[in-house]
Amino acid sequence: MITSAKTVLLLGFLLISWTDFLPSNTQPGSKPEYTADAQLKLPEHYREWVYLTTGFDMSYNPAGMQMGHHMFDNVFVNPEAYKVFVATGTWPDKTMLVLEGRRAVGKGSINQKGNYQSGETMGIEVHVKDEARFPGKWAFFGFGDEKTAKMVPTKADCYSCHSSHAAVDTTFVQFYPTLLPIAKSKSTLSPAYLKEVETPAQK
């Protein structure tokens, strides 16, 4: 009996020890957190989230942007929101999309052509859906070197641009190659976006 009891205790200890290493359902910092003065805390583990896409020198201004260098923009989304989007074609409350800008580098190590991303971030922007907090449900936050950021004022062009051109729920799903087909299949594409992509023959 003593031997059996020891065996049960040992198996229980091993089971507990093993479950300590299993991933939790909610990763740290995967939902929006705010300071007492309503600033958004930077989700520092966003690079462990779901990667959506990378843009290169993208600009929504017809004249382009004069930066003097090339840029990569990487987009990540919290895992919980990603799972809901895959199932429904829409974004749930508490969605967080992170846009990370990195300078493009041409020469380094053995690279002789093309560009790769530098190790230094040039800026981070977070697009948050928090229906109870924001009148328009969504808000933008721009991070510099700080770990917190104030909400970008709603008069900023980014709000009207996303509202007028976003494929799904004020987000630019049209630039996310793995999510656009899902939105099409779920019929969740916005009327404004569908109108933009109509061919002359369909008008």
Residue scoring higher pLDDT (185 or 6): 185
Asked if residue 181 belongs to a domain, the reply is no
Q: How confident is the model at residue 68 (pLDDT cuts 50, 70, 90)?
A: confident
Asked if residue 129 belongs to a domain, the reply is yes
Asked if residue 4 belongs to a domain, the reply is no
Asked if residue 82 belongs to a domain, the reply is yes
Rounded-to-integer distance, Cα 22 and Cα 98, Å: 25
Range of the domain at 120: 29-154
Asked if residue 53 belongs to a domain, the reply is yes
Asked if residue 51 belongs to a domain, the reply is yes
Q: Mind listing the pLDDT tens digit for each residue in 99-146? A: 999 999 999 999 989 998 999 899 999 999 999 999 999 999 999 889
- Mean of per-residue pLDDT scores for the chain: 86
Under 8 Å between Cβ of 30 and 78? yes
**What percentage of the chain has pLDDT greater than the value 70?**
80
Is the pLDDT at 163 greater than 80? The verdict is: yes
pLDDT at 15: 38
Structural domain tally of the chain?
A: 1
Rounded-to-integer distance, Cα 140 and Cα 56, Å: 21
What is the CATH number for 149? 3.50.70.20
Asked if residue 142 belongs to a domain, the reply is yes
Asked if residue 186 belongs to a domain, the reply is no
